[in-house]
Amino acid sequence: MNIQYRYHGKQDCEPGYYWGPGYKEQYKIMFIHKGKGIYRFNDKTYALEKGQGFLVFADTVCYMKADHDDPWVYSWFAFTGDDVEQLLEQVQLTPDYPIFSFSSLHKVDAYLEELTDMDTGDLNGQLHCQSLLFRLLAEWTDLLLADRQTPRSFRAKDVYVRKAMDYIHTNYSLKITISSLAQFIRIDRIYLSTLFKESSGLSPQQYLLQFRIQKACDLLVNPSLSITDVSHSVGYNDPLLFSKMFKKVIGSSPTAYREQRYRVLE
């Protein structure tokens, strides 16, 4: 396979640290170990956090920025080659969908540490780096396919649901409709709802609602955020509608929930 190692790294970003907009010549796979941030590429902005990652495409312009309150720690490895597109097709990463989720980075961390200790100044070191790159790519591919593949056959239905969930996790603060979600994944709206219900037991609307309210619960412990701030942060322009939906899911108003959490924390 014609794929060449270029470089790798890991960065503990300062609050608000950003890179770009800038041009990247190589492909880079980015793993988020801690914190949050945004990745802007191809006229889309993705809000990402620990347990997610993204692909920087070669010969493109992108922008990335660490969160001010919870800046991310990420690692990366860069590569080029004629067979990269074939690899990306296998894991279904495209310029329209450059993000992914993962459950563990144990092996990836070990390979990155080994690369850091490697002397690349001679041919032997370069060959070792190339070997480690292929092991890294194999591990990365396994991470991405773990929830999308049976032992013998590729489950396209699961990929559709996973993509829908990933899209919700990334864009819950924006206006999301089932039609726009289905259009992004490129399948029929009714078919997506059926697959989603079969897989999760919830409709896409119910899943989006529960995810937004869970995020709201996390934000409500921050006393510097008003109810309106929290409402806007989780995709509701109308604070009254947000309060209504919050009470529907949690059983109490956002204000009552916040006061209860404060009493628990005291």
Q: Are 9 and 78 in contact (CB under 8 A)?
A: no
Task: Say which CATH architecture domain 4-145 belongs to.
Answer: Sandwich (2.60)
How far is CA 44 from each of CA 8, 63, 144, 215, rounded to the nearest angstrom?
25, 10, 22, 21
d(CA 76, CA 5): 12
Which residues in the chain land under pLDDT 70? 1, 103-105, 116-126, 143-157, 264-266
- What is the pLDDT, as a whole number, of residue 228? 94
DSSP letters spanning 24-82: ESSEEEEEEEESEEEEEETTEEEEEETTEEEEEPTTEEEEEEE-SSSB-EEEEEEEE-T
**CATH number of the domain located at residue range(s) 156-265 in this protein:** 1.10.10.60
Q: Where are the domains of the chain?
A: 4-145, 156-265
Q: Starting from the edge strand earliest in sequence, which strands make up the sheet with 73-80, in order? A: 4-12, 73-80, 27-34, 52-56, 99-101
Q: Say what the pLDDT of residue 153 is.
A: 37
Per-residue model confidence (pLDDT) at position 118: 63
The pLDDT assigned to 3 comes to: 82
pLDDT at 152: 36
